[in-house]
Amino acid sequence: MAAAEARPGGRRRCRRLEGEAARAVLGAADTLLFDCDGVLWRGEAALGGAAAALGRLAAAGKRLCYVTNNSSRTRQAYGEKLRRLGFPPATPRHVFGSAYCAARFLRQALPPGAAAYVLGGPALAAELREAGVPHLEPGPAALPGPAPADWARAPLDPAVRAVLVGFDEHFSYAKLCQALRYLLRGPDCLLVATNRDHRLPLEGGAAIPGTGCLVKAVETAAEREAFIVGKPNRYMFDCVASEFDIDPARTIMVGDRLDTDILMGNTCGLTTLLTLTGVTTLEELEGLWKSQKTSHFSWVTWK
Amino acid sequence: MAAAEARPGGRRRCRRLEGEAARAVLGAADTLLFDCDGVLWRGEAALGGAAAALGRLAAAGKRLCYVTNNSSRTRQAYGEKLRRLGFPPATPRHVFGSAYCAARFLRQALPPGAAAYVLGGPALAAELREAGVPHLEPGPAALPGPAPADWARAPLDPAVRAVLVGFDEHFSYAKLCQALRYLLRGPDCLLVATNRDHRLPLEGGAAIPGTGCLVKAVETAAEREAFIVGKPNRYMFDCVASEFDIDPARTIMVGDRLDTDILMGNTCGLTTLLTLTGVTTLEELEGLWKSQKTSHFSWVTWK
């Protein structure tokens, strides 16, 4: 599963991991953080060998956690999916999805009683409920009349102090309009988003737009930058570290994307392990290394 | 109505226009191009003095044209609105809205028989029809099933060779998804947008999101930059110049925004006239000048 590894701390190195080297790297770790889509599975199919590999790591006493930018499932639902696809049993506590992390962030950041306006799906709402963050229920929304003047007069909830943007298949101009109106309340209304992934790859080269597209629309309207909960922001790692006793030097971040998984791992001083099973390909990795485009992965060397 | 004027050709100058100076500047022009929203009217109310001023200019034999980024009306509808609000009679031929200009661009850019996928309203569709550009009818769209795999299997029209983004109150994730799928056909599928205005100011400090927000969402998904038909791109002026015999040295662009109207006028070698009746305020103008932020208006001097 693992193809390349890098270690932080000035030693820029990237190598193919196999046999003895793989055993040494894994042996030195006590915690592994796994991205999910493109690393453990694609859609409803586990990637070949992944479940068995994680089974061996669990049997060897490693702590396995799951960190995913996908905001369309709860911690609970991820636990069930892991079990369904044959991965070692995982409690919801070991799962750090961006829906959960966003709810956690808002619980800490909002004053008591303040509510969130949510562009997102049922999982995001469920995690907010679980965290005790008041919120408007997501779902389809219609414009409240035929003319712009009507749109700007639709009722606003006085308790709203944050706009939270996650993956929302019901995203619409009507919702964008309400989001802007809340954000025009000024800096007292936070703008928070689960992630910036701008495209979700599907089987056969197909793709659908990711949350990042919706975030851009809201940011453009509001003339503000969102606080991003997901990778590559370190907030997601901080969530793991606040729930478990984590030693970064003995932790490995396993992911399929340089610009989210590996960048976050590098930022947080973890060993990083790029699987070549998802977004970033070997050709891309070599091309980027040759072109010295190192802004996102200055830790990469290829030998 | 007019407050500040600048002339191209190296002489960076900006001054308040009144009395004799105003008469001299207007006397030297034979054509005036007017932005509409925030310059001639706000919503359904003409701005004080605007209709009378344009009446005098028309009586003096000036050619009056209208150039607006607003894509939600046809040329015909603008002609009717001008008449309704007491402006001098204008034929549709004198109106250059971004819906008309986008249709004109696509008529020139698309091969025969090629169609456009439209994020926009009825006016955009009407101008495409008038220009003879085949297109999918805009309006609300639903996702074609519950799961991402369904969304990526919805039927696509094989004739589509362009995605056109204008103001679309029915903008939705479903439409963003289809737009991305057409754009994934590669560079043979053009990405064209009417304008980048990201916010539409309404009465009383309210605002709604502008087309620019939708453009950003599509560009982010497609990893491509749209060709922008509207101001500050010079394409809109080129449309005017191809329909009338225009001498830039005797043409004045009248607008309320530095970043669209005045920038386009400056790019095209026109005299520019900033009304302080809309987006750009006098404070802003002075502040920008003092801070030497001249990238968008290197022509501005203030005395």
* Residue from B216, B223, B259 whose CB has the most chain A CBs within 10 Å, to mutate: B216
pLDDT at A293: 56
Q: Are residues B49 and B67 in the same domain?
A: yes
What is the reported pLDDT for B2? 43
Q: Are B12 and B300 in contact (CB under 8 A)?
A: yes
What pLDDT does B16 receive? 79
Cβ distance of A172 and B176 shorter than 8 Å: no
Q: Which residues of A touch B216 (CB under 8 A)?
A: 216-217, 219-220
Q: Are strands A2-6 and A271-275 parallel, antiparallel or unpaired?
A: antiparallel
Domain identity same for A85 and A41: yes
Residue A300 pLDDT > 80: no
Closest CA to A142 of B198, B147, B142: B142
Report pLDDT for A203: 76
Alpha-carbon gap, residue A254 to A252, rounded angstroms: 6
The fraction of chain A above a pLDDT of 70, given in percent, is 91
- The answer to whether residue B93 sits within a structural domain is yes
- The CA distances from residue A189 to A158, A222, A224, A235, B170, in Å, are 11, 11, 11, 20, 26
pLDDT at position B288 is: 73
Per CB-CB distance under 8 Å, the chain B contacts of A213 are 176, 217-218, 220-221
Domain with residue A177: its CATH number is 3.40.50.1000
Peptide bond before residue B187 is cis, with ω within 30 degrees of 0: no
Interface touch B198/A213, C-beta < 8 Å: no
More confident residue, A216 or A14: A216
pTM over the 0.90 mark = yes
Most B-contacting residue of A151, A153, A156, A173 (CB-CB within 10 A), to test interface = A173
Residues 6+ apart with CB under 8 A from B38: B201, B256, B257, B275, B277, B278, B279
Which residues of A have a CB under 8 Å from any CB of B? 43, 143, 148-149, 151-152, 168-174, 176-177, 180-181, 184, 198-200, 202-203, 206-210, 212-214, 216-221, 223
Span A249-288, pLDDT tens digits: 999 999 999 889 999 999 999 999 988 887 778 788 777 7
Of A228, A244, A264, which residue is a domain's last? A228
Tell me what percent of the residues of chain A surpass a pLDDT of 90. 73
Domain-terminating residue out of A183, A212, A228: A228
**Residue A187 domain-assigned (yes or no):** yes
Q: How far apart are CA A205 and CA B185, in angstroms?
A: 11
Interchain proximity A213–B218, CB inside 8 Å:
yes
Q: Say how far apart CA B98 and CA B103 lie, in whole Å.
A: 8
**Helix, strand or coil, per DSSP, at residue A294:** coil
B interface residues, A as partner, C-beta within 8 Å: 43, 143, 148-149, 151-152, 168-174, 176-177, 180-181, 184, 198-200, 202-203, 206-210, 212-214, 216-221, 223
Contact A92, A77 (CB under 8 A): no
Q: Which of B37, B165, B169, B195 to mutate to test the interface with A (most CBs of A within 10 A)?
A: B169
Residue B128 lies in a domain: yes
Q: Tens digit of pLDDT for each residue in A137-182?
A: 998 999 999 999 899 988 999 999 999 999 999 999 999 999 999 9
- Say if residue B223 is in the same domain as residue B236: no
pLDDT, residue A123, reads 97
* pLDDT band for position A4 (cuts 50, 70, 90): low
Cβ-based neighbours of B53, under 8 Å, separated by 6 or more: B1
Same domain, yes or no: A78 and A106: no
CA B173, CA B189: separation in Å to the nearest integer?
A: 20
Residue A248 burial class via C-beta count within 10 angstroms: exposed 0-12, middle 13-18, buried 19 and up:
middle
Q: What pLDDT, on a 0 to 100 scale, did the predictor assign at position B43?
A: 83
Length of chain A: 303
Q: Are residues A104 and A219 in the same domain?
A: yes
Say whether B37 is catalytic: yes
Nearest-angstrom CA–CA distance, A291 and A297: 12
The answer to whether residues B79 and B118 belong to one domain is no
Q: Is A238 tagged catalytic? A: no
Report the domain count for chain B: 2
Same domain membership, residue B6 and residue B84 = yes
- Are residue B84 and residue B121 in the same domain, yes or no? no
CB-CB neighbors (< 8 A) of A148 in chain B = 43, 200, 202, 208
Cβ within 8 Å, pair A200-B143? no
pLDDT in tens, chain B (303 residues): 445 565 554 445 677 777 888 888 899 999 999 999 989 998 888 998 999 999 999 999 999 999 999 999 999 999 999 999 999 999 999 999 999 999 999 999 999 999 999 999 999 999 999 999 999 999 899 999 999 989 998 899 999 999 999 999 999 999 999 999 999 999 999 999 999 999 998 877 789 999 999 999 999 999 999 999 999 999 999 999 999 999 999 999 999 998 899 999 999 999 999 988 877 887 887 777 676 555 444 444 333
Name the closest residue on chain B to residue A169, using Cα atoms: B173
Nearest to A176 among B148, B151, B209 (CB): B209
Q: Is residue A302 part of a domain?
A: no
Q: Which ranges of B132-270 would DSSP assign to H, the alpha helix? A: 148-151, 173-183, 211-222, 235-243, 263-267
**Cα dihedral sign, A223-A225-A227-A228:** positive
- Quote the minimal CA–CA distance from B202 to chain A in Å: 7
Range of the domain at B199: 99-228
> Among all residues of chain B, which has the CA nearest to that of A196?
B220
User: Same domain, yes or no, for A34 and A58?
Assistant: yes
- Count of CB pairs separated by less than 8 Å, A with B: 108
Give A116's strand partners.
Answer: A135, A162
List, for residues A104-148, the tens digit of each pLDDT value: 999 999 999 999 999 999 999 999 999 999 999 998 999 999 999
Both B224 and B247 in one domain: the answer is no
The whole-angstrom separation of Cα B149 and Cα B146 is 9
Which of A228, A258, A276 marks a domain boundary? A228
Indicate if the pLDDT at residue A93 is higher than 50. yes
B303 belongs to a structural domain: no
Residue A262 maps to a domain = yes
Length of chain B: 303
**A217 and A238 inside one domain:** no
Comparing CB atoms, the residue among B172, B198, B199 nearest residue A171 is B172
Question: Does the residue A196 lie in any domain?
Answer: yes
pLDDT category of residue A299 using cuts at 50, 70 and 90: very low
Task: Tell which residue, A195, A202, A144, has the closest CA to residue A174.
Answer: A144
Are B224 and B244 members of one domain? no
Measured N-to-C along each axis, helices A98-109 and A122-131 cross at an angle, to the nearest 10 degrees, of 40
Q: Residue B302 falls within a domain, yes or no? A: no
Q: Do A168 and B173 touch (CB under 8 A)?
A: yes
Secondary structure tally for chain B: helices H, strands E: 11, 15
A220·B200 Cβ contact <8 A: no
